[in-house]
Structure 1
């Protein structure tokens, strides 16, 4: 008994001694490459199970016996064993032999080294550098093979995304968006960029085949942030404030009233001389008499005279210049009231710098069995014109819980409330927007009505300044009719009219994961998406097309819900050097949409924006849409010793867009990979990694809308009786477009990962295109779809990254990517080769501004050919085709019955000029490049995007080059128009009545090449020791500028506006944003 007691006491003292010998050890773990904290590094006491992981600042803290050693490890870095101590600083170096990044792929994750497909990844650090409303915009210039264009800079606008070209003429080319494993059909603006962990773009068949037809145009995987296992709770607060301004300068226009009057006079003078046969003196008097005559019923007159002239003197002298005694501003009397008429600067009044502010709070962390991520975001993005803005609140909660060692559940919910004000249509025809009116207004017209003292009159009805609507019937005002945009004032419209969309959306994902013996795992992912919004549009009763009906109210309510069910079975196993993984599953997706619309006119008050506030019933309508997609899928990946890789995918899919007999289709892919550097015979020490890869497979496309296989009718009212009007002709034989994709390339890392990247060649061939066949009006139906035709897209992608300097205190990296894409229609059915171009000897058909023929691009522009200016008359010239004739004057025919072409000749008759296929408008090369520097807490980066080749139709420039439309603005290039003293000019004469001076032709097809300074970011992270005693992990102060400048062929032209080569004649300018912010981590 005594011996046992002594043994117990000895053990107790030994235990107490060991406890007393425990010491508190703390420190930080950083990367030897860039000095950044290593988050999630494992720190373990050697020989024990005691350990922890580093937090978001790379900091760790634990108890260890005196003299103990710590083993610090992190995936992709060389482990370190160090002696425990106080305030330790551990630096981990990259281990390029073990570097194996895990990437998000279809229905799971995969080591990048084993991946045989083609994908581009942008992580949260790159997203955080740019100031965007939706995360996908962060891909601009960052990933090869991807084009992102936004047609409008209006707040809340969404981009167009194209991956490796345009695959179809009539079917959609949008990629599939997948958020946390589930298809997402909502607005990209509803995803807070701060919540996004990574964007992965899948481009080839090996990476997209499991998504079947929905992945035929590529897939964008959006993975949101999660809590990290073993990490203490981390709270981050980010606030930024900035200014929005016009990102693209306006065209060089004539902004002087005097110069504008002189130019308009010149057109009338030339008309009098050349068309009316007047003498010089008569033409001078004619032009002066008509150019500002308010009573003129013809289109000669500008109607507004904003100059005061000496009695009896002409406005324009015989030298074509403004009377030197003319003074700007004119007093006038109308209906017993005095007014002061003077022009305003419409551009300054309608455009101004605006505020952008955004606030984000996130919290993430974990317990021993769970992780969580919570975020809230508020964005207030004001537009650069009045009545345009976008406000958004988002909240996200994401968590998982390990119920059992074999069972884990998770949930992810995102709620968004958004409110957008946007510019609407304006003018008596409602065919042109407010931006259109601002763009083309001549510099002689006033925005406001001013009294006899020059003060702007206040309108008690609208409770605003009194605006000039260019309408002679306006009760208070100048009584003049503006020839351009009559009954219009865009600034008034912006303030009095309403164009608003307000909505709520929710996206929820629930997951159940069951791990079974022998490497099996069952996963169930179930998601639901709900979105409802209400659009309110009111048109004021004071001017415009609804003045006679005393205003109008339009209401639209739209509700969308979608759900997606996935059941996946995964299996992973290794047999020595043989590694195999497999995924099999089933997925079902359904979305339904409901629209309800109504309108009424004759408002009680312009400030009452409800249908109940108007009394005359207008139209009402509602409809429902429904789409279903189901698929069974399987994938097997095999690798031998990390050297040889093989992958195979198969999908069996059904779409409700097709008739039951053609609803199901099969899609597949095979991929191969070879890690050459791991071969025993390979001894190039400067090569860290070299993998060759190739893939081939087939996807589909069903993006033609619902019910196209069914003959549809419109239900109309015929004398209060139901009437059916044919709409579209159904075709039950239509089925999937099929897109065969081939990809071959290499991934490499060289010189201790100083240079790494990839180079790939791709060829995507679409066959059995879903093509629209229009029908003559006599058929009653508009047309039908049929599977015909082939399209090829092929090109090269190069993606390079380089670490120029990589030391503890200083890192300097560079990146660049390049994409070429050749687009060609390789097969066009005889039924669509209805039009023959004699000069090009091409058969095809024209639609809109394009000509579709075998051997040409989908976007081959079809227009007249400009031949310059007749040096003798100054008239515009265009080309027409001439033909060979026999001795009797008959045009010769070739063996196919086509006219035999002799050549080209010029004509001044636009109508008799021929229309030609003038070539591909798509770019030859596009991409991006940039660099970043980090030095002792200072971070700096700059990024560019670029495009080389291609054409864009500059419609705005064409409109400004007319010189023939009264009240239209004019480009300064018109100052160099043809004249008797300038006969070599390529710009035709300015003459009233020359209706086709700026008619559509390749004269206005302009180079689409550009260089855009996309982003500059400069930040400073305060030293940790400065803020740690405050309970703060880190503070970063930064400035960021986005969309800073674009260099293009012509000032004002923004080729980024369109992928198809068409530029709107008036658009909301891209917006430059410059902001400052602060990020605080607790």
Structure 2
């Protein structure tokens, strides 16, 4: 990985009343990486997790000695092919170390950000400011799978070339009137306009059938596997205003109003109006508290505001810039005739999602600022939720974009810092932050209220939160047969549920709400110590409660893929009648062994030793002799250790409570020297 960055800033006072400025920054980077979002052998996290550890990395002769590759002169890798020990049952003709060396997954990216402004003051109290900002981004990507081994050996190699180019502009103008009305009253009024434009171009081509190894360029390849290109455009137009009032630095008031229009919606629904009001009361400035010996700051604050959301994404996470329009998938040809199919239905009534939030908080500082902190309560009401509503398979279309209902998020955030010791030679400070929130869907569209909306392992219904798991309930293991058991409802003749019973057929198991991914509490604790010139700090982060569905774990708890890796917990499996265990017998039934159920649902509580840092500040008399202002030697460790319900499970990787074969949080060691020049 290589990255080069640069930045230039320039400001000029042209006149006493006129100034201008320009800032430009850019970056150019080249990176070699690998896929982390698939279940192919090209994903090293998936490959190493699923490959049985009994299979060797290196090819050895009958005496167990490594064999030299006659081509490279290095130790020969074991590819699991018949010419060596025989085809591996799992992922034959592949070797991660070899594929990483022969494959190519390179990224060459560059971006430039440029901003310029012009600011003019007139009539003493007025300021006009206009600014233009632009961002250019280009990413050229090569995804090449070699022709000798791995996923593409059957087609003699495959190469993708992708170029993604993005360009955006923001044009902004504001007019501000600022006046100190008298000794006690201050007023600031602002009005403005903003225009945002975004465009992107995407080009992709793929070919396979390389006559010889050593190149990823498309020209030598024999077979065209497809190509595509598309262009996106997006615009937002905004008009806004803001008022701020301050009386004696004790009573603070602010209000804002804005109107936004987006190209994502139909012309009859693309504009939305939003406002906010807020105030603060600095009680510590009141006469009845000014003489307090222990209160340094006490501020009560409250606000209410509305904001809009116009963003919709597809299931793969890419933005949907044409949410209200009917989209067509092209390239579905019939013999030699070009064809197209509808991929999404239009909805001209699609409109802004509105978020209304109330905040009430208190900032405080006591005992000569030795104790500082804040406590904030918020209530966020979201209405006209933007959502991809699934459609029946009979329609031939997977979803339609809709505003489906309302929900709220309510929570409380608490922060406190305490300077426990303040001395010339020793300091100790403790910082703690805690957070708790709840979520609830309060209204769905009429057609979804009875049955709700099933989205993966979740089900959206009124009265529940959006992260509620909807799964079959695992009932343990039948002690006589060793089969996995699941709960199902018992109903009377009229269909009323009268109880529950267990079944050994997972398809008969009923679905139930099984808890939420939302934690009961999360937070962080930091301690900082200084003894003379040495400082030490550590940071802990934690979560209490919440659920996490670990499908990766279940994939290692069955033999459905012959020759793959098994989890150590499979040693606790049922083996004979009378065995009491929660791990069913080994059988080649992936649906029963790996089917979605609470067997893969775990408590998401964790404790993470996030960082430990140690530093030493060189004495002033030492650094002054070498012409420096200060100098500090430091070292740190990130992601020191992680504690969770099950080894290898990291709930902080996904707030939705589901796992994937991606980069883990890596332990990082950092050492450095920082200096200040006189």
Q: TM-score range with shorter-chain normalisation?
A: over 0.9
Deviation at 1:654, TM superposition (A): 0.7
CA distance in 2, matches of 1:747, 1:881: 52
Q: Is the 8 A contact 1:834 1:845 kept in 2?
A: no
CA distance in 1, matches of 2:597, 2:72: 44
Partner of 2:353: 737
Q: Which has the higher contact order (CA 8 A, sep 6+)?
A: 1
The one of 615, 631, 637 equivalent to 2:238 is 631
1:631-668 per-position Cα deviation (integer Å, ceiling 9, x unaligned): 11111011211111111011111111011111111110
Deviates more, 1:704-713 or 1:517-526: 517-526
1:106-125 per-position Cα deviation (integer Å, ceiling 9, x unaligned): xxxxxxxxxxxxxxxxxxxx
The one of 579, 587, 604 equivalent to 1:1008 is 604
> For 1:110-125, what aligned pairs fall within 5 Å after superposition?
none
**Secondary structure of the structure 1 residue equivalent to 2:288:** coil
> For 1:19-58, what aligned pairs fall within 5 Å after superposition?
none
1:712 lines up with 2:318 in the alignment: no
CA distance in 1, matches of 2:81, 2:447: 51
The one of 433, 441, 446 equivalent to 1:830 is 446
Deviates more, 1:564-573 or 1:1045-1054: 564-573
Deviation at 1:995, TM superposition (A): 5.8
CA distance in 1, matches of 2:361, 2:420: 25
Deviation at 1:439, TM superposition (A): 0.6
The one of 29, 34, 51 equivalent to 1:418 is 29
Partner of 1:690: 298
> For 1:341-380, what aligned pairs fall within 5 Å after superposition?
none
The structure that has the greater radius of gyration is 1
**Secondary structure of the structure 1 residue equivalent to 2:380:** strand
Q: 1:748 to 1:410 in 2, by over 3 A?
A: same
1:946 lines up with 2:561 in the alignment: no
TM-score normalised by the chain length of structure 1: 0.60
CA distance in 1, matches of 2:216, 2:26: 27
CA distance in 2, matches of 1:729, 1:463: 59
CA distance in 2, matches of 1:804, 1:570: 44
Q: Is the 8 A contact 2:612 2:636 kept in 1?
A: yes
Partner of 1:407: 18
CA distance in 2, matches of 1:972, 1:622: 47
Q: 1:845 to 1:709 in 2, by over 3 A?
A: closer
Q: Is the 8 A contact 1:426 1:488 kept in 2?
A: no
The one of 800, 803, 816 equivalent to 2:416 is 800
Two-structure CA RMSD over aligned residues (Å)? 2.2
Q: 1:751 to 1:442 in 2, by over 3 A?
A: same
1:762 lines up with 2:369 in the alignment: no
Q: Is the 8 A contact 1:471 1:486 kept in 2?
A: yes
Partner of 2:633: 1037
- Structure number with the higher helix fraction is 1
Q: Is the 8 A contact 1:774 1:784 kept in 2?
A: yes
Deviation at 1:1080, TM superposition (A): 2.0
**Secondary structure of the structure 2 residue equivalent to 1:399:** strand
1:445 lines up with 2:55 in the alignment: yes
1:811 lines up with 2:427 in the alignment: yes
The one of 702, 705, 709 equivalent to 2:310 is 702
CA distance in 2, matches of 1:853, 1:646: 39
Q: Which runs of 5+ in 2 are unaligned?
A: 313-319
CA distance in 2, matches of 1:756, 1:558: 47
**Secondary structure of the structure 2 residue equivalent to 1:662:** coil
Deviation at 1:531, TM superposition (A): 0.7
Q: Is the 8 A contact 2:42 2:99 kept in 1?
A: no
**Secondary structure of the structure 2 residue equivalent to 1:721:** coil
CA distance in 1, matches of 2:18, 2:36: 56
The one of 173, 176, 184 equivalent to 1:570 is 176
- Structure number with the higher strand fraction is 2
CA distance in 2, matches of 1:608, 1:669: 58
Partner of 1:620: 227
State how many pairs are aligned: 667
Partner of 2:479: 871
> For 1:198-277, what aligned pairs fall within 5 Å after superposition?
none
CA distance in 2, matches of 1:598, 1:458: 38
Q: 1:943 to 1:399 in 2, by over 3 A?
A: farther
Q: Is the 8 A contact 1:729 1:782 kept in 2?
A: no
CA distance in 2, matches of 1:766, 1:925: 22
> For 1:289-328, what aligned pairs fall within 5 Å after superposition?
none
Q: Is the 8 A contact 2:37 2:662 kept in 1?
A: no
Q: Is the 8 A contact 2:308 2:352 kept in 1?
A: yes
1:483 lines up with 2:89 in the alignment: yes
Q: Which runs of 5+ in 1 are unaligned?
A: 1-389, 836-843, 885-890, 893-898
Partner of 2:140: 534
CA distance in 1, matches of 2:20, 2:578: 79
Q: Is the 8 A contact 1:964 1:995 kept in 2?
A: no
Deviation at 1:992, TM superposition (A): 5.3
CA distance in 2, matches of 1:1046, 1:447: 29
> For 1:768-787, what aligned pairs fall within 5 Å after superposition?
768-787=384-403
Q: 1:969 to 1:771 in 2, by over 3 A?
A: same
Q: Is the 8 A contact 2:307 2:355 kept in 1?
A: yes
CA distance in 2, matches of 1:1038, 1:1051: 31
> For 1:466-615, what aligned pairs fall within 5 Å after superposition?
466-472=76-82, 476-478=83-85, 480-574=86-180, 575-615=182-222
CA distance in 2, matches of 1:725, 1:591: 27
